[in-house]
C-alpha cells in the first residue's frame, strides 16, 4: 500500500493530525486502535467546546469519523515495525501489510509498560525484563513467560523461542492479530489465558502466579504490553528519544529526521487533550506539506 | 571519555578509579544505544572525579554471571573497589549522578 502520510496512533493527536493532513489533500492513513488511547476511558471537562463533561471515547469516535469524512483511511491494528525506505518510510502493521509513505507522524502517546503486580519491581533485572530484544541472550535454555495482549508480546514470544527452552505467552484479553498469534504458535509458543497476579522467587524470579491460583515455574518474565513502543519506533526511523522516552521536535512538530513528525503526549507534558490536539494539527499540516513537496 | 573495557581490563579499572561507573550494554539493545550519549555526558561531568566505562556483555558471559546481570543496560557503580549500586534500565545523567553523590 502507498500513502503520502502515515500517522501512528489513534488518539486525539493522531486523529487531529489526520484531519489536517487529509484536509491538505494528502493521502493519509491512520494506524492504531482507539481503545489504546489514554483518552478512551477518560471523562473530559477542561476542553474547549463541549458544554458538559464528555466521555473520551465519544470524542475519539467522533474524531475518527471526521478524519474519515475528509478522506483518511484507518487501519485498526498496531504498527509492528518502521524503517527508512527509498527516500521515504515503510511502516509494517500486524497483518503483515506494509505502507510506503513520504512522511510519518508519531502520535502513540505514552506507552504503559508496567503491570503493577507484586514482585514486578523487586525482581527487575533479576528475571523481570521489559525488553526481550535486549535481554533474550540471558535466558538461553531457560523457561520464560511473556505477558501482554497485543503485538509487542507476540513479537517477543516468537523471538524468545530462539533462546529459551520453553516460552509461555500469558494473555488476559488477547487482541493481537491472528497472523501474529499463528506465527508465535508455529514457533512453539505455548499460549496461556490468564491474568498475572504475582511474580514470585528468591534471589531471582522463580514463578508467575495467575489469578485463580495457577503457578507457572519460570526463570524469566518479559512484560510487553501494547504494541511496539514509541521509543523503538522512533529509533527504527532514526530519531533518538530522550531518556524519559519523549521525542523532541521543532515548532513544526518535526523531529531531527526530516519527514518524521511527533505530536501529543509523546513530545512531553503537559499531558492534556488541548495540547495533543494543537500539536496534532501542526504535525498534520506540516507532514502533508513535507509529503507533497509544499512545506 | 568513556573507556571501553574487556573482561581482562575490568578489575583493573575498578582498582584504578576510587569511583567507577560501568555501563553494561550490547549493540543490539535499543535502550543501550540511547545510554551511549548519556554516558559520554556523564564522563565529562565526572572528569577527574570518577572513571566512566562501558562493557559489552556480549564479549564475555563471565562478568554478567559474576554481577548477576540479566537485563541491559545495567549500570554498576563501584566505590573503592566495592559494588555499591546496580541500576537496571535506561537512566538519565542526573539520575546516575544522584546515586553517585548520595551513596
Q: Which of B3, B19, B26, B29 is catalytic?
A: B29
Picking from A135, A231, A244, the nearest residue to B72 by CB comes out as A135
**Is the pLDDT confidence value at A111 over 80?**
no
The confidence band for A294, taking pLDDT boundaries of 50, 70 and 90, is confident
Distance CA B24, CA A208 (A): 27
The confidence band for A113, taking pLDDT boundaries of 50, 70 and 90, is confident
pLDDT for A295 equals 66
Average pLDDT over residues A98-120: 93
The confidence band for A286, taking pLDDT boundaries of 50, 70 and 90, is very high
A120 in contact with B, Cβ within 8 Å? no
Q: Within 13 Å, how many C-alpha atoms sit on residue A270's CB side?
A: 5
CB contact under 8 A, A235 and B32: no
Kind of pairing between the strands at A260-262 and B82-88 = unpaired
Average pLDDT over residues B35-41: 96
Average pLDDT over residues A4-24: 98
pLDDT for A272 equals 95
CATH code of B3-102, in short, is 3.40.30.10
**Is the pLDDT confidence value at B70 over 70?**
yes
Picking from B31, B33, B86, the nearest residue to A125 by CB comes out as B86
**Is the pLDDT confidence value at A210 over 90?**
yes
Q: List domains and CATH numbers for chain A.
A: 5-111+228-292 (3.50.50.60), 128-223 (3.50.50.60)
A127 in contact with B, Cβ within 8 Å? yes
ipTM of the assembly? 0.90
- For chain A, what is the mean pLDDT? 95
B56 in contact with A, Cβ within 8 Å? no
Substitution target from B26, B31, B85 for chain A, most A beta carbons within 10 A: B31
A220 in contact with B, Cβ within 8 Å? yes
Q: Residue A260 is inside which H or E element, if any? A: strand A260-262
pLDDT for A90 equals 98
CB contact under 8 A, B68 and A134: no
Give residue limits of the domains in chain B: 3-102
Q: Cell for A69?
A: 469524512
**Is the pLDDT confidence value at B7 over 80?**
yes
Q: Select from A37, A192, A62 the least CA-distant residue to A112.
A: A37
- For chain B, what is the mean pLDDT? 95
Is B32 an annotated catalytic residue? yes
The rounded percent of chain A whose pLDDT value lies above 90 is 93
Picking from A125, A231, A240, the nearest residue to B71 by CB comes out as A125
- Interacting residues of B23 by C-beta distance below 8 A, sequence separation 6+: B2, B32, B35, B39, B52, B53, B54, B55, B73, B74, B75
CB contact under 8 A, A126 and B68: yes
Distance CA B45, CA A135 (A): 29
B31 in contact with A, Cβ within 8 Å? yes
Chain B residue numbers touching A125 (CB-CB < 8 A): 69-71, 74, 86, 88-89
Is B24 an annotated catalytic residue? no
pLDDT for B101 equals 84
A243 in contact with B, Cβ within 8 Å? yes
CB contact under 8 A, B71 and A232: no
pLDDT for A204 equals 96
Average pLDDT over residues B19-48: 95
pTM, entire model: 0.88
Amino acid at each position: 500500500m502507498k500513502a503520502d502520510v502515515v500517522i501512528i496512533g489513534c488518539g486525539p493527536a493522531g486523529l487531529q493530525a489526520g484531519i489536517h493532513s487529509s484536509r491538505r489533500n494528502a493521502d493519509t492513513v491512520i494506524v492504531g486502535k482507539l481503545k489504546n488511547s489514554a483518552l478512551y476511558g477518560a471523562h473530559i471537562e477542561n476542553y474547549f467546546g463541549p458544554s458538559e463533561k464528555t466521555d473520551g471515547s465519544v470524542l475519539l469516535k467522533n474524531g475518527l469519523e471526521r478524519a474519515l469524512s475528509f478522506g483518511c483511511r484507518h487501519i485498526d491494528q498496531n504498527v509492528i515495525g518502521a524503517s527508512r525506505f527509498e527516500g521515504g518510510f515503510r511502516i509494517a502493521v500486524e497483518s503483515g501489510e506494509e505502507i510506503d509513505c513520504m512522511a510519518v507522524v508519531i502520535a502513540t502517546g505514552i506507552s504503559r509498560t508496567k503491570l503493577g503486580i507484586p514482585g514486578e519491581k523487586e525482581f527487575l533485572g533479576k528475571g523481570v525484563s521489559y525488553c526481550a530484544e535486549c535481554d533474550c541472550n540471558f535466558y538461553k535454555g531457560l523457561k520464560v513467560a511473556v505477558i501482554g495482549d497485543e503485538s509487542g508480546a507476540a513479537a517477543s514470544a516468537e523471538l524468545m523461542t530462539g533462546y529459551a527452552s520453553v516460552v509461555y505467552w500469558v494473555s488476559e484479553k488477547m487482541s493481537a492479530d491472528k497472523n501474529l498469534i499463528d506465527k508465535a504458535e508455529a514457533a512453539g509458543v505455548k499460549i496461556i489465558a490468564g491474568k498475572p497476579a504475582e511474580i514470585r522467587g528468591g534471589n531471582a524470579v522463580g514463578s508467575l502466579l495467575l489469578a485463580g491460583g495457577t503457578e507457572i515455574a519460570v526463570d524469566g518474565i518479559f512484560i510487553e504490553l501494547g504494541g511496539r513502543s514509541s521509543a523503538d519506533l522512533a529509533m527504527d526511523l532514526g530519531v533518538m528519544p530522550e531518556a524519559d522516552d519523549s521525542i523532541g521536535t521543532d515548532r513544526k512538530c518535526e523531529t531531527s529526521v526530516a519527514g518524521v513528525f511527533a505530536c501529543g503526549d509523546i513530545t512531553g507534558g503537559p499531558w492534556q487533550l488541548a495540547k495533543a490536539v494543537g500539536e496534532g494539527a501542526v504535525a498534520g499540516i506540516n507532514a502533508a506539506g513535507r509529503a507533497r513537496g509544499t512545506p | 571519555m568513556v573507556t571501553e573495557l574487556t573482561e581482562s581490563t575490568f578489575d583493573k579499572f575498578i582498582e584504578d578509579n576510587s569511583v567507577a561507573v560501568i555501563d553494561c550494554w550490547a549493540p543490539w539493545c535499543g535502550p543501550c544505544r540511547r545510554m551511549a550519549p548519556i554516558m559520554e555526558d556523564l564522563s565529562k561531568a565526572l572528569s577527574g572525579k570518577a572513571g566512566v566505562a562501558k562493557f559489552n556483555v556480549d564479549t564475555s558471559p563471565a562478568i554478567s554471571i559474576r554481577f548477576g546481570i540479566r537485563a541491559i543496560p545495567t549500570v554498576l557503580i563501584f566505590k573503592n573497589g566495592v559494588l555499591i549500586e546496580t541500576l537496571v534500565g535506561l537512566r538519565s545523567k542526573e539520575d546516575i549522578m544522584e546515586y553517585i553523590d548520595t551513596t
